[in-house]
């Protein structure tokens, strides 16, 4: 970034901070002269103003005016919808290595016990005050899908999309998480063939098809009710699966039972791109998966997202590992997908509109009537050298700080007196 760009970015931060300090609770806002990436069929609008009234986008155009509304001069910088953070444990996972701070996984007995609990709902443990949330929002992340897993079943449980604006309730319908292939082998007798047998039995049980007196029942009454909500297309089932053969079988199984599915991972999904497009199955890919870390990913390629998109498959993004504390890296993944053939607009859509549409979230695009969850950037949001200047939820500017930024500022100035925010007396040697 040039010195001129750095100075301009600082001026933008100062202007937005002044606006936020004057009216913290304001939901009316005018952003002037932005490069607006709408993530809709309108595409990118140069030199455009965005007017927010009551937390929703009221108008897009040039030379907009609004008396008494606080305004921010974007100086031509990119404005996007707030980004999707992927499938994460944000709000239900504080420290990955400390089990007492994790609420994303169920463990009931040994895997052989097959304690199937689709009623396991991680949203009940969501903490809107988690210190992980500001780490994501200052990087432009506006919503995420909570993951759910089980040590004893290929059915992990239920998660939901959550807006990271302090709300405690889900931002869209709940989803059911399912793991297939080698990822679910340990919960299915070490056989992927058994996975389909078990799934068919669970569907029969939920629908009351088991013979009278059968002893293979695995669902509780609450579990039956939970599973029934996802049958016949009444909810989305997010399936973690990579191998093409397993994806092919998944498409057949979903069609047979009338299920709505989305694929998470899909390292070899490009091999079945036409079939996925025909079935309208979205794929949440990690574009950096290009080496066979196991036998389910022999066909992994950096061009996965590009090939899927070219065939008409809705493509979104989700990290393969350590997603909760690295949600900010999802735009790096999108940038890598673009570098390997995915159109730029499709890269942005995979971070905004596509996951929002999949999860039923009122976000993901900049259009009249939509919620004003927005991010102003110093430059191209798919370039990791650029940063978020300001994130807004419903037109409200959030504080652009987190525990990470506070620690950064504290230790960059070790000689500042403790009374002025420097190191406390516990660190006299550092003075």
Alpha helix positions (H), 75-188: 132-137
pLDDT tens digit string along 159-184? 999 999 999 999 999 999 999 998 87
Residue 395, phi-psi category: left (phi > 0), alpha (psi -120 to 50), beta (remainder): left
How are beta strands 78-81 and 374-377 bridged, if at all?
Answer: antiparallel
- CA neighbours within 13 Å on the CB side: how many for 215? 0
Mean pLDDT to the nearest integer, 273-296: 95
Token representation of residue 183: 């990822």
> What is the percent of the chain with per-residue pLDDT over 90, rounded to a whole number?
69
- Other beta carbons within 10 angstroms of residue 98's beta carbon come to 9
pTM beyond 0.85: the answer is yes
pLDDT tens per residue across span 350-374: 999 999 999 999 999 999 999 999 9
Q: Point out which residues pair with 52 in neighbouring strands.
A: 29, 57
Within 13 Å and on the Cβ side, how many CA atoms surround 219? 24
Query: 196: Cβ–Cβ under 8 A, 6 or more apart, which residues?
Result: 249, 253
pLDDT category at 24 given cuts 50, 70, 90 is very low
Q: What per-residue confidence (pLDDT) applies to 22?
A: 36
- Which of residues 138 and 431 earns the better pLDDT score? 138
C-beta neighbour count of 288 within 10 angstroms: 16
218 — alpha (psi -120 to 50), left (phi > 0) or beta? Answer: alpha
Beta-bridged to residue 79, according to DSSP, are 36, 376
For 393-413, b/e burial (b = at least 16 CB within 10 A) is: bbbbbbebebeeeeeeeeeee
**pLDDT tens digits for 402-417?**
988 888 877 776 555 5
- Cα–Cα distance for residue pair 139/332, rounded to 1 Å: 12
Q: Answer whether 106's CB lies under 8 Å from 70's CB.
A: no
The domain 84-362 is placed in CATH, from the list 3.40.640.10, 1.10.3720.10, 3.40.47.10, 3.20.20.140, at 3.20.20.140
pLDDT on residue 23: 38
Domain residue ranges in the chain: 3-81+390-400, 84-362
Q: How confident is the model at residue 426 (pLDDT cuts 50, 70, 90)?
A: low
pLDDT digits (tens, 9 = 90+) for 30-86: 999 999 999 999 999 999 999 999 999 999 999 998 888 999 999 999 999 999 999
Which CATH architecture describes the domain 3-81+390-400?
A: Roll (2.30)
Label residue 17 by pLDDT band (50, 70, 90). Answer: very low
Helix (H) or strand (E) holding 33: strand 29-37
**Distance between CA 167 and CA 171 in Å, rounded?**
8
- Going by their DSSP bridges, the two strands 105-106 and 149-150 should be labelled as parallel
Q: What are phi and psi of 374, to 5 degrees?
A: -135, 160
Percent above pLDDT 70 for the chain: 84
Contact 206, 231 (CB under 8 A): yes
Q: Which two tokens stand for residue 238?
A: 């997010």
């Amino acid at each position: 970034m040039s010195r001129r760009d750095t100075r301009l970015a600082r001026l933008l931060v100062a202007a937005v901070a002044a606006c936020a300090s004057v009216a913290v609770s304001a939901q009316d806002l005018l952003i002037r002269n932005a490069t607006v990436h709408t993530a809709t069929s309108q595409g990118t609008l140069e030199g455009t103003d965005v007017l927010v009234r009551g937390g929703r986008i009221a108008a897009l155009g040039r030379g907009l005016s609004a008396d008494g509304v606080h305004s921010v001069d974007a100086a031509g910088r990119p404005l996007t919808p707030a980004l999707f953070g992927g499938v994460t444990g944000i709000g239900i996972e504080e420290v990955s290595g400390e089990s007492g701070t994790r609420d994303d996984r169920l463990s009931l007995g040994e895997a052989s016990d097959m304690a199937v609990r689709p009623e396991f709902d991680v949203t009940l443990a969501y903490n809107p005050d988690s210190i992980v949330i500001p780490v994501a929002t200052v990087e432009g992340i506006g919503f995420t899908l909570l993951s759910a897993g089980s040590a004893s079943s290929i059915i992990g449980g239920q998660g939901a999309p959550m807006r990271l604006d302090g709300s405690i309730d889900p931002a869209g319908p709940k989803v059911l998480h399912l793991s297939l292939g080698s990822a679910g082998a340990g919960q299915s007798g070490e056989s992927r063939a058994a996975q389909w047998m078990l799934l068919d039995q669970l569907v029969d049980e939920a629908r009351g098809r088991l013979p009278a007196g059968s002893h293979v029942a695995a669902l509780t009454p609450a579990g039956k009710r939970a599973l029934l909500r996802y049958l016949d297309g009444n909810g989305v089932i997010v399936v973690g699966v990579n191998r093409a053969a397993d994806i092919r079988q998944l498409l057949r199984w979903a069609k047979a039972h009338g299920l709505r599915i989305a694929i998470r991972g899909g390292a070899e999904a490009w091999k079945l791109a036409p079939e996925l497009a025909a079935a309208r199955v979205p794929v949440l890919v990690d574009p950096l998966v290009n080496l066979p870390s196991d036998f389910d990913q022999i066909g992994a390629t950096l061009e996965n997202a590009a090939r899927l998109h070219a065939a008409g498959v809705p493509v979104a993004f989700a990290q393969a590992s350590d997603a909760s504390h690295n949600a900010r890296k999802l735009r790096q993944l999108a940038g890598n997908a673009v570098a390997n053939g995915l159109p730029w607009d499709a890269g942005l859509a995979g971070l905004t509109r596509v996951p929002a549409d999949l999860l039923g979230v009122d976000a993901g695009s900049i259009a009249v009537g939509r919620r004003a969850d927005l991010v102003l950037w110093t430059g191209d949001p798919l370039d990791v050298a650029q940063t978020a200047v300001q994130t807004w939820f419903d037109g409200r500017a959030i504080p652009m700080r987190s525990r990470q930024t506070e620690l950064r500022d504290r230790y960059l100035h070790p000689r500042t007196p403790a009374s002025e925010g420097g190191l406390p007396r516990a660190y006299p040697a550092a003075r």
